Amino acid sequence: MDLLAFGFGSGLAPRAPGTVGSLAAAAIWFALPAQTFPHSLLLPVLATLAGFWICGRSAARHGAGDHPGIVWDEFAGCWLSLALAPAGLPWALGSIALFRVLDILKPWPIKWFDRNLQGGAGIMLDDVLAGIMAALCMRSVYLLF
């Protein structure tokens, strides 16, 4: 379970474990075969649902509300941003970058979820929301141009 919670070891990075975890998630995403839109949602949705349990259990095991090394939430959020972003490498890279910015800065309503929810839900939902918001922003820019 910790293997997943700590993003296959990426969460053990001494600096910026969330960013390293997001880059590891992106590498896995790009290594997978291309999927049609409905099928591309399968991995992030399953990662999110499993993440409530994975992150909650790992945080409890390590005695931390949101241990900095737990990056499975970044995996799920990054994968959601990639699944929902417009097709194409520039849009994918922009979505990953925007996901990280939103996850770090935590604008409303992301900050509300981060501060008010506990356990696995508290760990997961701010990143899931950041991933969705990043993709929606990228889609908005795509539609405008």
Burial group, residue 88, by CB count within 10 angstroms (0-12, 13-18, 19+):
exposed
Q: Angle 20-72-32 (CA atoms, 0-180°, nearest 5)?
A: 75
Mean pLDDT of the chain: 95
Q: Where are the alpha helices (DSSP H) in 6-88?
A: 17-31, 37-40, 42-61, 72-84
Q: How far is Cα 58 from Cα 95, in angstroms, rounded to an integer?
A: 28
pLDDT for the residue numbered 65: 77
- Of the pLDDT bands very low, low, confident and very high (cuts 50, 70, 90), residue 94 is very high
- Of the pLDDT bands very low, low, confident and very high (cuts 50, 70, 90), residue 64 is confident
Share of residues in the chain with pLDDT > 90 (%): 88
**For the segment 103-130, what is each residue's pLDDT rounded down to a tens digit?**
999 999 999 999 999 999 999 999 999 9
pLDDT for the residue numbered 66: 79
How many CA within 13 A on the CB side of residue 77?
33
